[in-house]
Amino acid sequence: MKLLDQHEIDRMADELAEIATRAPLLDGLRHMREASSEEEAISTATTIASVDFLKSQGVEPRPGFRITTRSFEPPESAPVVNKPDNRPIVDFENGRLTVTCDGWVVSVEQS
């Protein structure tokens, strides 16, 4: 596995923050939160958790970018409160990149 340097981590954090805070993805996450059933929430997650969906919404992730669904409670160490200016919070620790914005936590690990 390739070791990440500071430049690569900064690039990944910037890219993840850009994608995770785009309106199409946030709208999908809000729709999931407001779903009247678990089935509706899963259906929405399946739709928005794809590179093809992102591209159809004008979001162009880098080649090799992956998105997947996972259900879990936010880790206790994840920052879940937005900064006063409502900008995303980005944290990188133990090979996991976490972005928190608008009450949502998005976490990515390098494989």
The pLDDT assigned to 75 comes to: 53
What would the pLDDT profile of 35-54 be if each residue is shown by its tens digit?
888 888 888 888 888 888 88
Q: What are the structural domain ranges in the chain?
A: 6-109
Q: Confidence band (pLDDT; 50, 70, 90) for 14?
A: confident
DSSP string of 50-101?
Answer: SHHHHHHTT--PPTT--------PPPTTS--S--TT-PPEEEEETTEEEEEE
What would the pLDDT profile of 77-88 be if each residue is shown by its tens digit?
555 555 566 677
Question: Does the structure show a pLDDT above 70 at 110?
Answer: no
20-24, 25-29, 35-39, 83-87: the lowest-pLDDT one: 83-87
